[in-house]
Structure 1
Amino acid sequence: MPVPEQAAEPRPTAGEAAYSTGPARSGPLGQGRWSTRQWLTAGVSAALVVLVVLSGLAVAFFRHSAAVSNQLVDRSSPALIQAVRLEAALVNQETGTRGYALTGQAEFLEPYTQGLSQQAAATTALHALTTGDRTDAADLDLVLARAARWQRDTARPIAARPPGTPVPSGLAGAEQGKAEFDSLRAALTTQQTHLQQARNASRADLTTARRLRNWLFSTIAAVIIALAVLVFVGLRRGVNAPLERLTAQVRTVAGGDFTHPITASGPADLRRLAQDVEAMRERLAHELATSQTARDAVDAYAADLARSNAELEQFAYVASHDLQEPLRKVASFCQLLQRRYAAQLDERADQYISYAVDGANRMQTLINDLLAFSRVGRVHDQYAPVDLEQVWDQTLDALSVSTTETGTELRHDPLPQVSGDRTQLGLLLQNLISNAVKFRAPDRAPRIRLTVEPDGAMWRFAFTDNGIGIDPEFADRVFIIFQRLHTRDAYPGNGIGLAMCKKIVEFHGGTITVDPHHTDGTRILFTLPQTPPPPHTPAQAEES
């Protein structure tokens, strides 16, 4: 059914009001109060009512047509046929009696005898067919009465004479018999005329019924076609057209034009859907505007960060040259002072000078460690395939003195090839091995094992030693820069080694943790990607 497109604006639901950022817009064709389901229900109900009415008319027509056909086939035509048979039976009786009267021969009575049987059969059939019709019953009664009178006065007396017996001329040629049979013929003619008229009327009714049938079925076909056209037009205007308009508008917005408004049209549910989409568009437009503002702020922050990185580079240069030069002078002159005036200085002065030299040296070491930590992720080569077997061997060569002196036993699985920075990965292995050697147990030689296994897109490494171990409560703290778990007198160093390992691993796109469930030493688990990680921007590198 066609959907009217001009209707009042319904109130928005609670859900629509919750995130609607502006007033609802009306579509160019207006709004409908009914939903698509209501329109479909109303249209289908109306179509069903029309079809039921047409079906009722068709049933009534079929009943009428059946009655007319039955009247013609089962009553009018058989009655006329039986009337004709009754006439033939009576004519046969008249012919037989007349021949018998003229010749006296018995064989001439056979038509008479057969005529009586035919008369009885035709009479029985006519009684059944004319029941309920006074005219036909009266005609049959008249025919039978006149036939009985003719048979009584003429036919039976002739048939009762013995064969060969001359028939009295007065009886044989009696005018009375002829007059009675003519009267019987007139009654038969009247009966057949009435039956023929009834048959013609039935045929006329049947012809009328056929015309009515043609008209009725043509009307039903036209109504069904009209319903189909109405349903198509209604769905087209009420559902398809609003959906196509909404789809086109949504595609425009999805194509990037977030300022394009979504107009509502069609049934109530489609209009509510358009309003929901419009509210979502306005929310997205607002979020995009906020995002653009945030992006501008990020760009400004990136510019500030780039400037800060440049200043940091300048600071690193100053720290590596200008700051270390005074420290070297302090240490050198303190040592020179100690050598030249050793005879004039007491033990306390020597101790003070030793403290000054040690402090200068530790400050220089700390500056170098800070420079190395700041360079991770900021000063590095391009990612390239790195054979960890070669890096492992080179690291052992660099640490050969300490591992030999401590009797360190090192084992490892076949190491894979990864993509990364060779220098930084070497620094990672160097710090892990150095820590394992430094924090060894005093009663046994260090034993170090590096295992590796694939884990999806990552390589999972396990670096295990038999040293003093790390308490689980400090598992996260050890990766913080300058966090020490022991005094400098017990274990030298600046507490920067594992922090640097964490920064290197995370820069390469992996993770590093301490296994809290491992006992009898320390197990450090870290991962490295099998494929190169996404490229780091200078800002990302500095933040990491």
Structure 2
Amino acid sequence: MKLTVQGWQNLVLAVLGTAVLGCSIAATILVGQADQVSNQLRDGVQPARVAAYQLQAALRDQETAVRGYLLTADPRFLDPYHDGRASETAAAEQIRQDLAGSDELLTDLDRIEAAAEQWRDEYAGPLVAGIVGAEQLDDASINEGRALFDRLRELFTVQNDHLTEARAAGLIELDEIRGWRDAVMIAMILTFVVTAVLLAVVMHNAVTRPLSALAAACRRITEGNFGERIIPRGPTDIRAIGADVEDMRQRIVDELEISRSARAALDEQADELRRSNAELEQFAYVASHDLQEPLRKVASFCQLLERRYGDKLDERGIEYIGYAVDGAKRMQVLINDLLTFSRVGRLNATTTEVDLNAVVNAAMINLATAIDETGAEIVLPADPLPTIDGDPTLLAMVWQNLIGNAVKFHRAGLAPRIVIECADGTGEHADKHLFTVTDNGIGIGEEFVDKVFVIFQRLHGRDSYTGTGIGLALCKKIIEYHGGTIWIDTTYTDGTRFTFTLPATPTTAPDLAAQPELEGSM
């Protein structure tokens, strides 16, 4: 029979309940019988014995009164006789009430009453009624009366013996019932003890031992022995749990094999990627030097041509030489900016606690000339900017590019005004700082809010504004490297408002030696 843990428990409890119920019924019956016997002794036999003594005393009083009257012929001696008759009647009635249902004991009473009536009819009654005078009784009549009353005394003895025997039998029966009651109580206690032991054994064999074996197998699996099979044991539900755990183990083993294969492939790809990155780094370094050297030579020789043969060239020739020099210089700037963009977060990266107040001040110092020339006003927040984890040089490039763009793209005839604000992020930006850089410049069209963050994407010609178009792309890459995001707030129409987030959980020790002194391209 395959039972669950609950089934075994219900079975043991059912056996316990049945045993307790049976013992309770037996104990109730025995207690009822004990009460019945005790009540019979208390309210039946014992009062009957007292009433029997009263009955016998009443008859003796009658006999004594008759004997006194016989000796003295004084009628006053007959008063106890009449009182005895009344006491006799009351005592007999009391005995019949107390011994109702005890026919054997009532038979003794009937015999005594019959003998008493015979004594009164044949001897005491005529004498008391005056039918026969005391002087008329001879010795034979007196002896006959005495014999009749002696018969009564014998019946008294029989009645007393029977009542004593009935009391003793009741006490014996009461003791037997109490013994059975005690035996039932002991059996009930033993049933509880045996059932508790049985329940403990069942729970140990059906629950504790299978669960312990399952737990031990699970521990060995967690320690890395994934090849160990789990054999279901115990009740049905624990076996089902063991089967489920075995299925889970098998699935883990299968997934582990797949993950090992995938990890091996990923390791190969990672190695390949590291080799590729190393080659790209080497290529970028070589390309930066190998490309810039010819450009420097082109620019130098063009300038030499202009100085040596300037008086022999016409205006168009001098213009062509200027184009060549300008193109070479712009190519150098583009190469340097591209190298800077590719190195974000990869080369010489540091992570420390960065005070953004110092970073913004460093950026403003780098832009001091442009700020003074345009008369720009930079409004810092009333509360100090927070301290975050990051690379101080890269973060300085972010502020330098954003503030520099706000100064560069100002409206003609209007001094730039840049407002920097900081607040705690909410919703999807919870646990982050939310920064805004707002200016009153020419603004950016809504259709270009994504294009401006693409590398080398320009919205204006080189004749209008200088730069390579890498500044905002660099800002986006640096902020995302630090775990934040950047976007343009299109709801602001009086200029441009850049909004970006940075994580607000500094955990590293401050690096006092790190100084934000890198100038970025705008």
TM bracket (short chain): 0.7 to 0.9
Alignment match of 1:235 (pick from 188, 203, 206) = 203
Taking the aligned partners of 2:57 and 2:358, their CA distance within structure 1 comes to 132
Q: Which has the higher contact order (CA 8 A, sep 6+)?
A: 1
Consecutive unaligned residues of structure 2, counting only runs of 5 or more, are 510-522
Partner amino acid, structure 1, of 2:84 = G
| Cα contact 2:45–2:99 (8 A) shared by 1 | no
Q: Deviations over 1:150-198 (max 9, x none)?
A: 1123223333459xx8643428953331232233333334444444443
1:522 aligns to 2:514 (yes or no):
no
| Cα contact 2:59–2:84 (8 A) shared by 1 | yes
Taking the aligned partners of 1:534 and 1:258, their CA distance within structure 2 comes to 39
1:495 aligns to 2:469 (yes or no):
yes
Partner amino acid, structure 2, of 1:221 = I
| Cα contact 1:446–1:466 (8 A) shared by 2 | yes
Alignment match of 2:30 (pick from 61, 64, 73) = 61
Partner amino acid, structure 2, of 1:266 = G
Gap change, CA 1:85 and 1:330, over 3 Å in 2: same
Q: What are the within-5 Å matches in structure 2 for residues 321-400 of structure 1?
A: 321-338=289-306, 340=308, 352-380=320-348, 382-400=350-368
Matched with 2:403 is 433
- 1:479 is displaced (CA, Å) by 1.9
- 1:415 is displaced (CA, Å) by 4.1
Gap change, CA 1:392 and 1:205, over 3 Å in 2: closer
SS at match of 1:467: coil
1:511 aligns to 2:475 (yes or no):
no
Matched with 1:125 is 94
Taking the aligned partners of 2:378 and 2:230, their CA distance within structure 1 comes to 70
Taking the aligned partners of 1:519 and 1:170, their CA distance within structure 2 comes to 158
| Cα contact 1:98–1:172 (8 A) shared by 2 | no
Alignment match of 1:211 (pick from 165, 170, 179) = 179
Taking the aligned partners of 2:265 and 2:137, their CA distance within structure 1 comes to 147
Q: Deviations over 1:50-80 (max 9, x none)?
A: 2222222222222322333333333333333
- 1:274 is displaced (CA, Å) by 1.8
Alignment match of 1:410 (pick from 371, 378, 383) = 378
SS at match of 2:233: strand
Matched with 1:156 is 125
Matched with 1:541 is none
Q: What are the within-5 Å matches in structure 2 for residues 418-429 of structure 1?
A: 418-429=388-399
SS at match of 2:436: strand
Greater shift, 351-360 or 237-246, is seen at 351-360
| Cα contact 2:376–2:415 (8 A) shared by 1 | yes
Partner amino acid, structure 1, of 2:289 = H
Taking the aligned partners of 2:47 and 2:366, their CA distance within structure 1 comes to 129
Alignment match of 1:451 (pick from 421, 426, 438) = 421
Greater shift, 328-337 or 490-499, is seen at 328-337
Consecutive unaligned residues of structure 1, counting only runs of 5 or more, are 1-6, 8-32, 536-544
Partner amino acid, structure 1, of 2:351 = Y
Gap change, CA 1:269 and 1:534, over 3 Å in 2: farther
- 1:329 is displaced (CA, Å) by 2.0
Q: TM-score, normalised by structure 2?
A: 0.86
The count of aligned residue pairs is 502
Partner amino acid, structure 2, of 1:426 = A
| Cα contact 2:9–2:199 (8 A) shared by 1 | no
Q: Deviations over 1:459-492 (max 9, x none)?
A: 4322111112223343333222223333444434
SS at match of 1:101: helix
Matched with 1:468 is 442
SS at match of 1:526: strand
Greater shift, 382-391 or 302-311, is seen at 382-391
- 1:97 is displaced (CA, Å) by 0.9
Q: What are the within-5 Å matches in structure 2 for residues 252-263 of structure 1?
A: 252-263=220-231
Matched with 2:80 is 111
| Cα contact 1:511–1:526 (8 A) shared by 2 | yes
Q: What are the within-5 Å matches in structure 2 for residues 78-227 of structure 1?
A: 78-160=47-129, 167-170=135-138, 174-227=142-195
Taking the aligned partners of 1:194 and 1:270, their CA distance within structure 2 comes to 70
Taking the aligned partners of 1:364 and 1:498, their CA distance within structure 2 comes to 19
Taking the aligned partners of 2:298 and 2:241, their CA distance within structure 1 comes to 79
SS at match of 1:461: strand
Aligned-residue CA RMSD (Å)? 3.0
Taking the aligned partners of 1:133 and 1:457, their CA distance within structure 2 comes to 98
Q: Deviations over 1:393-449 (max 9, x none)?
A: 443343333333333222223445555433323322221122112322235222112
SS at match of 1:174: helix
- 1:235 is displaced (CA, Å) by 1.4
SS at match of 1:265: coil
| Cα contact 2:8–2:202 (8 A) shared by 1 | no
Greater shift, 145-154 or 304-313, is seen at 304-313
Q: Deviations over 1:18-72 (max 9, x none)?
A: xxxxxxxxxxxxxxx3222222223222322222222222222223223333333
Taking the aligned partners of 1:531 and 1:83, their CA distance within structure 2 comes to 106
- 1:230 is displaced (CA, Å) by 1.2
Q: Deviations over 1:73-113 (max 9, x none)?
A: 33333333323322221122111111221123345334323
Taking the aligned partners of 2:161 and 2:360, their CA distance within structure 1 comes to 130
Partner amino acid, structure 2, of 1:370 = L
| Cα contact 2:3–2:236 (8 A) shared by 1 | yes
Taking the aligned partners of 2:353 and 2:41, their CA distance within structure 1 comes to 105
Matched with 2:6 is 37
Gap change, CA 1:77 and 1:403, over 3 Å in 2: closer
Taking the aligned partners of 1:60 and 1:48, their CA distance within structure 2 comes to 18
Taking the aligned partners of 2:493 and 2:183, their CA distance within structure 1 comes to 100
Q: TM-score, normalised by structure 1?
A: 0.82
Taking the aligned partners of 2:363 and 2:163, their CA distance within structure 1 comes to 130
Q: Deviations over 1:254-273 (max 9, x none)?
A: 34443333332111111111
- 1:500 is displaced (CA, Å) by 0.7
Gap change, CA 1:205 and 1:454, over 3 Å in 2: closer
Greater shift, 258-267 or 378-387, is seen at 378-387
Identity of aligned residues (%): 46
